[in-house]
Structure 1
Amino acid sequence: MRPHYIGLMSGTSTDGVDGVLVRADDAHPVSAAPSDAPGYALTLMAEASLPLPDGLRQQLLTLNTSGPDELVRSALAANALADCYAQVVHTLLDETGLRAADVRAIGAHGQTVRHKPQAGYTIQINAPARLAEHTGIAVVADFRSRDVAAGGQGAPLVPAFHAACFGLDSGRVILNLGGIANVTLLDGGVRGFDTGPANMLMDAWAQLHLGLPYDREGRWAASGRCHAGLLAALLAEPWLALPPPKSTGRDLFNLDWLHTRLDAYQTSPAAADRPRGSTAAYHPPVAPISAGDIQATLLQLTVQTICEAVHQYAPTAREVLACGGGALNPVLMDALAGALPCRLSTTADYGIPVQSVEALAFAWLAQAHVQGQATCLPAVTGASHASVAGCLYPA
């Protein structure tokens, strides 16, 4: 029997766990060889999703900032997340009729709660030993640390997988619209980097004002109008001007970041409050911006940062293939289609469901780890050398 792999992903949006079970051809090398058609040697056999329990989701979000008992809380959250992972694994096995012994390894990324490669660390909440114990399957986890140790960003992790799927000379850009947006540029080499927030800020704003986990189909954003002044203030974030390699996350783009810039934009000192002799231009206080207009502005922030990245770093791209949860947001996709310099489609047009791409990538990364193939690439992460991603926890 050909070996099987499972890929699990709970992304920055913390909405749930996506899992896939694939059949792999281990005789086919895991590589980024040019190809006009998907050539990643994985056959998708089953998909499963599980919403994260509200309590666990909130705990994971809270762990993005320091707080009391965070070591204990992170350990308990890791165990609970591993239990959710195990539930998805058992669902996949039930759907396919396979046994644990038929699966070579599980690729489980965990939940990123800190990501500061410039300080030499990245932290993913996970309990891979517990997952291996509860499933009877070896687990590959901790995919970022080796690259960070080699001086890299440890992210994004999936460009090598994208290259294996779509070919090095395809003239395509693969755009992942998760909590953070990242792009893979396939133009004769493999490059990739984060461009800024995708769904993260829009989801947080919807939760704050609508009490909903996200703005379904972008309807709330569509009801508002982008505020040009606020958009310019958000685009002034210095990180956005950094050249790749670069990566980011909730450490930077969060509600505190948004409120700080919103407050600074909406309030400016009256002329009488300026130092005597100041020649600074006077800007009267800005009228409050409606929550709906802010949502529309956040959507445009996502669009503009992505489009600027494509314009600057992939000017000859023929096609952008979107995946991730944001690819199911028609308002966001329409805005991107109108702003990008080339055709926009989705990975589903090439047979890869948009919600399954990252889970598939971690199944592929698990296979690569088992085969000893380097998938963390210096051209992507800025590391001093390529490295094999992940650590293996035997069954």
Structure 2
Amino acid sequence: MNTIYKVLGLMSGTSLDGLDIAYCHIWQETETFWSFKILDAETISYSPAWKLQLKNAIYLSDSAHEDLDKAYGIWLGEQAKAFIQKNNLDVDFIASHGHTSHHRPEEEYTFQLGNGQELANSSRQKVVCDFRSLDVKLGGQGAPLVPIGDELLFSDYDFCLNLGGISNISFQKDGKRVAYDIGLANMPLNYITQKTNLEYDKGGTLAASGELNEGLHSQLDKLEYYKLPFPKSTGYEWFSKEIIPLIEESKASIEDLLHTFIQHNTSKIALAITENMEKKVNTLLVCGGGALNDFFIETLREKLLPHTEVIIPSKQLINFKEALVFGLMGVLKMEDKTNVLSSVTGASNDSCSGVVFFPSK
């Protein structure tokens, strides 16, 4: 009988919605296909203080950044331990993505906060983390990583799209898994709504009431990032440098800003799909917080008709797919199998990434 791994996956994304915790059973069905069940899952919202610290981590001195890394690792372990106790779980290990504070693969540097040793100590569990660094050392982008899950868990779909702070896509092309960050998703939307003291635009109702701002739309379309070939990845640095100034300089209303960004985002996503279709009729699985934005999805559906069916799965999978996939990556690390694909990241070769930590006595 195939081994069933009992894994706690931890994920914190660029949109800073909170810490996603997913308790999963994961097992191998065939050489190329794995199965899973998400048995318990929860998102723990960040306090205003944690949100501010994580958002501004990029600006910290080296010593302050190291202190935050350790403090956040302790906090992650405390949340994991409380979750395990509350749900009376039997856990083999924790697989943690951490929270990205720096991502500059062109400088061979990426950093995910959440110190693995501190996490292991405070949770009293074995921990696998730091899934990006090895790929960056091998000349890769260190991102996106979720496509290994698309390959092994969701290969029934032609395209897999994640709408987190940024949008990334994964698909098979010429027999290989390809994936990259398309560009923007929730990051600008949340930045705009927070100007009105709303965390986010629920269902996209504000965006739906707005109109297209042609000037801003044109500026967004001309951004250099879109001209880069894949593999490519981006993050908060790009958003902070290139996008925030456009928002701040715009005289458009909140509603028009939101509407314009959704029109822009969905156009770029639709283009990524139509340029890479190998079939006349396709299926697109959409996960991440943006899948719950009705106006975003409605606009995307319109732009993909009639060749691509947009599939929105269960709310549990929408919210916890990434935590699940990092659980899978931890399993693959334990089995010494490939968990980062060079066809996705542009590294010199596939790798088995991650660092294992045990609680100190």
TM-score (norm 1): 0.84
Deviations 1:121-166 (A, max 9, x none): 1111111111100111111111111111111111000111111112
**Shift of residue 262, structure 1, vs aligned partner:** 5.3
Counterpart selection for 2:141 from 140, 150, 153: 153
Distance, in Å, in 1 between the alignment partners of 2:66 and 2:200 is 27
Partner of 1:289: 252
**Tell me, what secondary structure is at the counterpart of 2:322?**
helix
CA distance in 2, matches of 1:291, 1:93: 41
Give the match's secondary structure for 1:12: coil
Change (3 A) 1:249 1:30: farther
2:65 maps to which residue? 74
Contact 1:45–1:96 (Cα < 8 Å) also in 2: no
Match of 1:320 in 2: 284
Query: Aligned partner of 2:252: which letter?
Result: I
1:60 paired residue number = 54
2:219 matched residue in structure 1: 233
Q: Secondary structure at the match of 2:311?
A: strand
Give the conservation status (yes or no) of the 8 Å contact 2:73–2:113.
no
| Structure-2 separation of matches of 1:214 and 1:245 | 30
Distance 1:318 1:80, change over 3 A: same
Do the aligned residues in 1 keep the contact of 2:121 with 2:358 (CA within 8 Å)?
A: no
- Residue-by-residue CA offset, 1:334-383 (whole Å, 9 max, x unaligned): 1111112411012339xx62101000001101101100111211110111
In the other structure, the counterpart of 1:196 is 183
Identity fraction in percent: 30
Q: Distance in 2 between matches of 1:346 and 1:387?
A: 31
Cα distance in 2 for partners of 1:94, 1:314 equals 46
Could you give the per-residue CA deviations for residues 83-106 of structure 1, whole angstroms, max 9, x where no partner exists? 4422432343235423xxx42221
- Closer, same or farther: CA 186–78 of 1 in aligned 2, 3 Å: same
What CA distance in whole angstroms lies between the structure 2 residues aligned with 1:221 and 1:365?
A: 36
Match of 1:11 in 2: 13
Residue aligning to 2:323: 359
Secondary structure, in 3 states, of the residue corresponding to 1:7?
Answer: strand
Picking from 295, 298, 309, the partner of 2:272 is: 309
Q: Which moved more, 1:74-83 or 1:11-20?
A: 74-83
| Aligned counterparts of 1:30 and 1:205: Cα–Cα separation in 2 | 46
In 2, are the aligned partners of 1:132 and 1:393 still within 8 Å (CA)? yes
Report 1:203-282 matches (<5 A). 203-207=190-194, 209-254=195-240, 256-261=241-246
- Compared CA separation, residues 2 and 345, structure 1 to 2 (3 A): closer
Query: Alpha-carbon deviation of 1:185?
Result: 0.5
Change (3 A) 1:251 1:2: same
What are the Cα deviations for residues 260-307 of structure 1, in whole angstroms up to 9, with x where unaligned? 33577x6xxxxxxxxxxxxxxxxxxxxx32232112111122111111
User: What does residue range 365-380 of structure 1 map to in structure 2 within 5 Å?
Assistant: 365-380=329-344
Asked if the contact 1:46–1:92 (Cα under 8 Å) also holds between the matched residues in 2, the reply is no
1:48 Cα deviation from its structure 2 partner: 1.8
Cα distance in 2, alignment partners of residues 347 and 386 from structure 1:
29
Distance 1:88 1:128, change over 3 A: same
Q: Could you tell me which runs of 5 or more consecutive residues in structure 1 were left unpaired when the two chains were aligned.
A: 34-38, 267-287
Instruction: For residue 3 of structure 1, report the CA deviation from its aligned partner.
Output: 3.6
Is the partner of 1:151 in helix, strand or coil? coil
Separation of aligned partners in 2, 1:29 and 1:385: 25
The runs of at least 4 aligned residues of structure 1 exceeding 6 Å deviation read none
Output the CA distance in 2 between the equivalents of 1:48 and 1:345. 23
What one-letter code is carried by the residue in structure 2 that aligns with 1:183?
Answer: I
Q: Distance in 1 between matches of 2:167 and 2:147?
A: 13
Please tell me whether the aligned partners of residues 48 and 91 of structure 1 are also in contact (alpha carbons under 8 angstroms).
no
1:31-63 CA-partner distances (Å, limit 9, x unpaired): 6x2xxxxx4233222112210111111111112
Question: The residue matched to 2:319 in structure 1 has which SS?
Answer: coil
Q: Give 1:220 shift.
A: 1.6
Larger Rg: 1
Q: What is the aligned partner in structure 2 of residue 343 from structure 1? A: 309
Distance 1:111 1:239, change over 3 A: same
- 1:126 maps to 2:114: yes
Work out the CA distance in 1 between the residues paired with 2:109 and 2:210.
39
Whichever residue aligns with residue 9 of structure 1, its letter is M
User: C-alpha displacement at 1:171, in angstroms?
Assistant: 5.3
User: Residues 346 and 88 of structure 1: is their aligned pair in 2 closer, same or farther, counting only changes over 3 Å?
Assistant: farther
- 1:300 maps to 2:302: no
Q: CA deviation at 1:214?
A: 1.6
Residue of structure 1 equivalent to 2:294:
330
- Pair 1:211–1:315, CA change in 2 (3 A): farther
SS in 2 for 1:103: coil
**DSSP 3-state at the match of 1:193:** strand
Which residue of 17, 39, 48 maps to 1:45?
Answer: 39
How far apart are the structure 2 equivalents of 1:332 and 1:370? 38
**Paired amino acid for 2:187:** M
Give CA-to-partner distance per residue, 1:205-264, whole Å, 9 cap, x none: 111x2122222221221121121231111110011111110000011013x523433577
Of residues 352, 356, 359 in structure 2, which corresponds to 1:392?
356
Do the aligned partners of 2:141 and 2:347 also contact (CA within 8 Å) in 1?
A: yes
> Matched residue pairs, number?
353
